[in-house]
Amino acid sequence: MAGSIRALPSTEIGADGRVSGRRFSPGRDAWRRFRRHRLALASCVILITMVLAILLGATVWSVPINDIDFAARLEGPSWQHPFGTDDLGQDLLARMIYGGRISLAVGLAAMFVAVSVGTAVGAVAGMSRGWVGSGLMWLTDLFLSLPQLPLLLLVIYLFRDHLKALFGPEGGVFVLIVIVIGGLRWMPVARLVRGQFLSLREKEFVEAARALGASKTRQVVRHILPNALGPVIVAGTIDVAAAIIAESTLSFLGLGFPPDIPTWGRILYDAKDYLDIAPHWALFPGAAIFLTVLSINFIGDGLRDTLDPRRVM
Amino acid sequence: MSQYLMRRLLIAIPSLLGISVVLFTVLALAPGDPFEELATNPNVPPEVRTALRVKFGLDDPVPVRYVRWLSAMAHGDWGFSFVSRVDVDKLILQRVPTTLFVVGFSQILAILIAIPVGVFAATRPYSVFDQIANTLAFIGFSLPTFFTGLLFILIFSIYLDWLPFVYRADISATGLDWYWQHVKQALMPIAVLGLFQAASLTRYVRSAMLDVIRLDYVTTARAKGLGEAVVVVKHVVRNALIPVVTLVALQMPAIFGGAIVTEQIFRIPGIGSLLISSILANDTPVVMAVTFVFACLVVLFNLIADILYGWLDPRITLH
């Protein structure tokens, strides 16, 4: 089946998606476009492998992350410790599996916050015709010119202790980082959504819905929003990568998660003073961040090709 | 042009005010007492503490405190560092030039790489060169600056032993050697920041070039017999740079974020490392002031981008 689809030049597909009697769903058509982007496809495989390794790794590699063994300090990769050990003789593979879960969870949760806030702001700004829209856009532009990393550091500095008391050391930092990263990354999504809304709300199919008596909420939720989602999905994908980098940066500066939670950035932070004697300690988490971010970016690029209706492929 | 400049300046003021409101709101919302050095110091009796709080107006309503804080900032009274026991503005002024030096040179490096590569890739779209440049650009902006920094230290300082990995403000050498030492120690930080910027800039330049190069006036320029080099350099690049300038302006916050990381890795005595050390030392006045300086720098560079924009596209200044 897959072979026969590939052989079909896309120009033969009509507006209704009908080719030689066979019907293509939008999903399958999207998949067909996505498959053309080879790097995106390869990235998908890499990312899925890494996610599976992170999720299932702990059951296969059941070495505790805080098992201190001074006899095996700063050892390079070996069969006993595939990724080597750190300055306390803790197994790096186990720590990276644990940290990867947190990095990915932060990335996904922060993306969710950014996309929700951005879509809400963009939708309201795109539907209102008065001062609300321009006010919201002014706010968006203001947030875009905020220096994000200093502000991120400032918020974490001011609120860290309070949230730690509220949600516990891990939960507090997690909630804080997710909210702050998400709260500083919604602006591009808001602009995209507003732009889409401004053109879509004047389209005939929305007018038809309005004529049939659809309420404003229904017009937005059933008719406009689904058509505006393409660029949002792309922006959301890239936001996951950006959030992972932001979290690693915070941890790398020593201001993210506490030392006993080995996120990838935190491992790098601990490793940077031992670069000359134990380079493996920094290289493995660094490579993990790089591979994850690179594959997410490539997938985002592939999705852009897939979901951009203007592009003829 | 001067009228356009004035208008841009007037637009910059509300955004600075807006940023200051955001910063102050964050500070005001913060639980506990940010100036709690007094509160935790057992040598200060409670009555003195209350008197001080009244004197500094810490219990006034938030808007009153905001106006007071803002007018103090505007007067150049930025407070007193808890840790260094120096005026905050002096502390920051000492450090700003270093940050601007590193950020400025890395921007120049980024532009020097991105414009030729982007232009060359766009004139031969989907060629081998284009695809290699595109893949390298993807790798470039997927490599976080903290990891490239460590990789550079590992390769150039530890294995090859060519460059020092600690930035020193007090180099004892004199004459030409002094300059050489400075160049050597600045090379890695500038390269880390510059390459990261160059990666995303290359993609912007390429796509902006591709948008312009197929326009009719370019065909006209070719049709009247101009050489390809003249067409590209004189007709296409100048117009393609207009959207790129906007995108660079939008990137400014990210650039300063990268500067913080780079300063921390190479221990450059700039305002980024000052921010981190003040956070670790709970030095609230410095933290607030540095964050505000970063915001001002972003607004300033946006202003410069606007001026460039007006120069590249004279139509803009007329509206």
**Model pLDDT for residues B196-209, shown as the tens digit of each residue:** 989 989 988 988 88
**DSSP assignment string, A212-270:** TT--HHHIIIIIIHHHHHHHHHHHHHHHHHHHHHHHHHHHHTT-SS-TTS--HHHHHHH
According to DSSP, the residues that pair with A85 across neighbouring strands are: A91
| Measured distance between the N- and C-terminal CA atoms of chain A, rounded to whole angstroms | 20
- Disruptive mutation site among A134, A146, A240, A247 for chain B (greatest number of B CBs within 10 Å): A146
Which residues of B fall within a CB distance of 8 Å from A286? 147, 150-151
Q: Are A103 and A247 in contact (CB under 8 A)?
A: yes
Cβ neighbours for A206, distance < 8 A, ≥ 6 positions apart: A200, A219, A223, A224
Segment 119-138 of chain B within 8 Å of chain A by CB: 135, 138
Q: Do B289 and B188 touch, CB atoms closer than 8 A?
A: no
Q: What angle do the packed helices A92-127 and A264-271 form, to 10 degrees? A: 130
Considering only the beta carbons, identify the residue of B135, B291, B302 that sits closest to A150.
B291
Q: How far apart are the first and last CA of chain B?
A: 10
Rounded to 5 degrees, φ, ψ at A13 are -75, 120
Instruction: Say which residue the tokens 């120096």 belong to.
Output: B86
Q: Which residues of B touch A282 (CB under 8 A)?
A: 150, 154
Percent of chain B surpassing pLDDT 90? 6
Is the pLDDT at B279 greater than 90? The verdict is no
Cβ-proximal residues to B131 (8 Å cutoff; 6+ apart), any chain: none
CA distance B15 to chain A (A): 6
Q: Do A154 and B32 touch (CB under 8 A)?
A: no
B26-45 per-residue burial string, b: 16 or more CB within 10 A, e: under 16: bbeebeeebeeeeeeeeeee
Comparing B103 with A30, the larger pLDDT belongs to B103
Cα angle A38-A40-A46, degrees, rounded to a multiple of 5: 105
Question: How far, in Å, CA of B55 to CA of B210, rounded?
Answer: 62
**Candidate from B142, B143, B253 with C-beta closest to A147:** B253
Amino acid letter at B245?
V
Measured in degrees and rounded to the nearest 5, phi and psi for residue B51 equal -60, -40
Query: Containing H/E element for A304?
Result: helix A279-307
Contacts of A134 (CB under 8 A, 6+ apart): none
Report the candidate in B129, B266, B112, B124 with the shortest Cα–Cα distance to residue B194.
Answer: B112
Confidence of residue B96 (pLDDT cuts 50, 70, 90): confident
**Model pLDDT, residue A308:** 67
Interface of A to B at Cβ within 8 Å reads 39, 141-151, 153-155, 157-159, 161-162, 241, 245, 248-249, 252-255, 265, 268, 272, 275-276, 279, 282-283, 286, 289-290, 293-294, 297-298, 301
Question: Residue B15 is encoded by which pair of tokens?
Answer: 């955004």
Measured CA to CA, the distance from residue B316 to residue A215 in angstroms comes to 41
Task: Tell which B residues from 145 to 164 touch A, by Cβ distance under 8 Å.
Answer: 146-147, 150-151, 153-154, 158
Burial (Cβ within 10 Å: 0-12, 13-18, ≥19) of residue A31: middle
Token pair of B209 as six digits:
């070039």
* Residue range B146-166: mean pLDDT, rounded: 82
Rounded Cα distance between B301 and A147, Å, is: 12
Indicate yes or no: CB of A294 within 8 angstroms of CB of B275. Answer: no
pLDDT computed for residue B314 by the predictor: 78
Per-residue burial over B70-105, b if 16 or more Cβ lie within 10 Å, else e, is eeebeeeebbebbebeebbeebbeebeebbebbbeb
Interface mutation vs chain A, best among B147, B203, B255, most A CBs within 10 Å: B147
- Name the residue facing B257 among A141, A143, A148 (closest C-beta): A148
Which residue has better confidence, B61 or A184?
A184
* A22-23 and A18-19 strand pairing: antiparallel
Successive 10-residue mean pLDDT values, chain A, 313 residues: 40 48 70 80 88 82 70 68 70 82 90 92 86 86 82 82 73 83 88 87 88 87 86 87 88 81 85 79 86 90 75 45
pLDDT at residue A116, rounded to an integer: 93
Q: Which two tokens stand for residue B287?
A: 């933290």
What CA–CA distances, in Å, run from A274 to A92, A95, A268, B318? 14, 17, 10, 58
In this predicted model, what pLDDT tens digit does every residue of B204-233 receive, in sequence order? 898 888 888 888 988 898 899 888 888 888
Compute the nearest-CA separation of B224 from chain A (Å): 32
pLDDT of residue A13: 47
Q: Is the Cβ pair B144, A289 closer than 8 Å?
A: yes
User: pLDDT at position A309, please?
Assistant: 56
- At B116 the pLDDT is 92
Q: Does residue B2 register a pLDDT over 90?
A: no
> In the structure, what pLDDT confidence band is assigned to residue B40 with cuts at 50, 70 and 90?
low
Distance CA A199, CA A201 (A): 6
Mean pLDDT score of chain B: 82
CA nearest to A220, candidates A196, A236, A237: A196
- To which H or E segment does residue A18 belong? strand A18-19
Q: Which two tokens stand for residue A295?
A: 């594959």
